[in-house]
Amino acid sequence: MAEDVVQDSFEKLWIHRNDVEFEKAKSFLFTTAYRRMIDIIRKEKRIVRVDEINENTNNYSPEFTGVNEILHKAVMRLNETQRTVVLLRDYEGYSYQEIADITNLNETQVKVYIFRARKFLKEIIGKKENVL
């Protein structure tokens, strides 16, 4: 990697040979190498290496075993209309128009019911004492 940085620095010096004064060539090389090194370090921080991934990262932790149960209880606390539209939209994947046809509501009402239901669910599930 160090050799690549040096080679890149000399390449930039060669490209800019007409613009760089002879007395400042050494400074130009060091500055270019330093900046290239910083760029590589920043890039390396963003790269996740496959061999460094811990196999246990995909395992769930014991405190989250009841999330499905909490979600189910929260959905059951919705009124019948809100529960129906949320289940049709989020679980079954129906469009707003299809839900409106199924529930005999207009499309705007369906959107309002879904918005209010999601807001309620977010409040219920978002509370720390409900999750733990």
Backbone dihedral angles phi then psi of residue 97, each to the nearest 5 degrees: -65, -40
* Alpha-carbon 61 to chain mean position: 21
Decide: 56 and 24 in contact? Cβ < 8 Å.
Answer: no
Angle between helices 25-46 and 2-15 (to 10 degrees): 130
Q: How far is CA 113 from each of CA 9, 15, 57, 74, 128, rounded to the nearest angstrom?
A: 61, 63, 37, 15, 25
Higher pLDDT, 21 or 91: 21
Q: Which of 84-93, 111-120, 121-130 has the highest mean pLDDT?
A: 111-120
- What is the band of 42 on the pLDDT scale with cuts at 50, 70, 90? confident
Angle between helices 107-126 and 96-103 (to 10 degrees): 100
Average pLDDT, the chain: 81
Least confident of 17-31, 39-53, 75-89: 39-53
